[in-house]
Structure 1
Amino acid sequence: MDYVRYLNESFDYTKEALWGRWVRWLLLLIASILFPFIYGYSVRVMSGAKPAPEPEGWIGLFIDGIKMIIISLVYTIPVYVLAAVSLLAYLVPVSSTTTPAGTSSGGLLSPELSIVVVLAILVLFVVAIIVCGILATFGVARFARTGRMGDAFRIGTLRDHIGRVGWLDVFIALVVLTVVIAIVQFVLMFIPVVGWFLLFLLSPAFIIFASRYIALVYESAPAPA
């Protein structure tokens, strides 16, 4: 997967979408404050629209933004379930301590075994975050392409598509995207006086850039019917 090309194409797309188009930029700044609207615009960018679409049809933007939020939240459910299990497993050693008299308090697991269980669940937790994050990304992108919210939860179809692209390639692509945006935002934050304002001013650019990048990753292999 050509990550550098995707970054360059996403940058050019974002530049064309905003540079010199100050009214569009202002409207997207307003949409960023009313975040369901900017998420709805993100869905339109991920639909493969080229050049970048105008921010119009605001009711549709809002509805698509809400749908994107719902899709993302649904995919976090397994992560929260594992987090709850991890917390319970962590609390088990508390009941497995030894009393001052040297007798066991009767815990369900020994402290050593509890640590092993916690570590195993933490590994599962990390894997779940990665898998659910990738599925959510492709789910939102598929919803953007078809316009049908149910398509975002066709796990088998999403799994097949991700498999065609390559799970590792998708993971690396998303890491690259995250790191690039984080570095730029980190640099902006440390500009005296105007850093935070620039961060806000460029928020539509970050959204468009990320959405176009995800669209390119999604398109890197044909989607199953």
Structure 2
Amino acid sequence: MILDIYKDSFEYSAQDWKTLVILGVMAVLSFLLLPVFLVTGYNYRVINTAVHGIINGKDPLPDFDDLVGMFVDGIKVVIVQFAYVLVPIIVFLIFAAIASYLGDVASVAAMIIGSLITFILVIICCLMVQMGLCHMAYNDGAFSKAFAVKELMKVIDDIGWVECIATYLGLIIITLVIAIVVTTLIGLIFSIFGFSGLMLGADTSGVFLLGTFINWLVSMFLVGPYLSIFNSRSLGLLYSMQIE
């Protein structure tokens, strides 16, 4: 089932390169802050489509319309993410504060225990964030549903903790592999051209600069947006498993 989710999401994310470019433009303009919420709002729409769909259901990519609504959804997404991330941060700070009042050995022990607990909480909270956003989308955007912990725990129980964690970790690995492979290949190609020119006595500084620029363009306008849609679609489909 997990592989079916990945397969569907790979195909779904590649439906329209224009959508990827638009998301890339928004990402480039993220320093203005407003586009950040539009990007997160669009990814929320992808999740919304997925939680109401099925694997290999041939769902279309969401349209770029109702920008105000997309912006509001984006703000809600960021708030949910921030709220859950605060939990492991607060726990770690508590252990750090306790460690500061202890002796050397006890202080180290407290930090080790605190770091371990924080790490476990990070995994759980990251999963809760994603399931919370999916649960919110499934319940017509009801903001409170993103924090309905008991309902979210039941959703994860119904899907299976192993399946949820495995899918989430798999997405992290796939994202890293694709990003690394693409940037490495582009860098390798231009490096070959550059060093070949150097061996012929040519000035190839422009080649290396061009390679860096092309790498940035591909990452920002194609790979990055593609992976963000891929992840959102995958998590939405994972959530839909407990509905079937």
**TM-score, normalized by length of structure 1?**
0.83
1:8, distance to aligned residue in structure 2 (A): 0.7
Contact 1:142-1:152 at 8 Å conserved across structures:
yes
> Which residue number corresponds to residue 119 of structure 1?
112
Q: Percent identity?
A: 22
One-letter amino acid matched to 2:22: L
Give the root-mean-square deviation of aligned CA atoms.
Answer: 1.8
1:61, distance to aligned residue in structure 2 (A): 0.8
One-letter amino acid matched to 1:197: L
Contact 2:99-2:106 at 8 Å conserved across structures:
no
Question: C-alpha distance in 1, partners of 2:20/2:160?
Answer: 35
Question: C-alpha distance in 1, partners of 2:103/2:100?
Answer: 12
Contact 2:96-2:114 at 8 Å conserved across structures:
no
* Cα shift readout 1:105-151 (whole Å, capped 9, x = no counterpart): xxxx4433333322222221111111111111100111122211111
Contact 1:28-1:55 at 8 Å conserved across structures:
no
Partner SS for 1:75: helix
> Which residue number corresponds to residue 105 of structure 1?
none
* Cα shift readout 1:71-103 (whole Å, capped 9, x = no counterpart): 0000011111112123224434xxxxxxxxxxx
User: Gaps spanning 5+ residues in structure 2: where?
Assistant: 30-34, 51-58, 188-210
Contact 2:47-2:134 at 8 Å conserved across structures:
yes
> Which residue number corresponds to residue 219 of structure 1?
240
* Cα shift readout 1:140-199 (whole Å, capped 9, x = no counterpart): 111122211111010110011111111222111111001101111112333221222210
Question: C-alpha distance in 2, partners of 1:62/1:110?
Answer: 50
1:68, distance to aligned residue in structure 2 (A): 0.2
1:143 aligns with 2:152: no
1:209, distance to aligned residue in structure 2 (A): 0.8
> Which residue number corresponds to residue 98 of structure 1?
none
Which structure exhibits the higher relative contact order, with contacts defined as CA atoms closer than 8 Å and separated by 6 or more residues? Answer: 2
Question: C-alpha distance in 1, partners of 2:145/2:3?
Answer: 29
1:220, distance to aligned residue in structure 2 (A): 1.3
One-letter amino acid matched to 1:73: F
Tell me the matched-pair count. 202
> Which residue number corresponds to residue 69 of structure 2?
60
> Which residue number corresponds to residue 162 of structure 2?
168
**TM-score, normalized by length of structure 2?**
0.77
1:207 aligns with 2:228: yes
1:218, distance to aligned residue in structure 2 (A): 0.7
Question: C-alpha distance in 1, partners of 2:221/2:74?
Answer: 20
One-letter amino acid matched to 1:172: A
Question: C-alpha distance in 2, partners of 1:47/1:196?
Answer: 30
One-letter amino acid matched to 1:76: V
One-letter amino acid matched to 1:38: V
Q: How does 1:88-103 map to 2 (within 5 A)?
A: 88-92=97-101
Question: C-alpha distance in 1, partners of 2:61/2:166?
Answer: 25
Of 178, 182, 189, which residue of structure 1 is paired with 2:172? 178
Question: C-alpha distance in 2, partners of 1:142/1:161?
Answer: 9
User: Gaps spanning 5+ residues in structure 1: where?
Assistant: 93-108
Of 175, 198, 211, which residue of structure 1 is paired with 2:218? 198
Question: C-alpha distance in 2, partners of 1:27/1:139?
Answer: 26
Contact 1:48-1:145 at 8 Å conserved across structures:
no
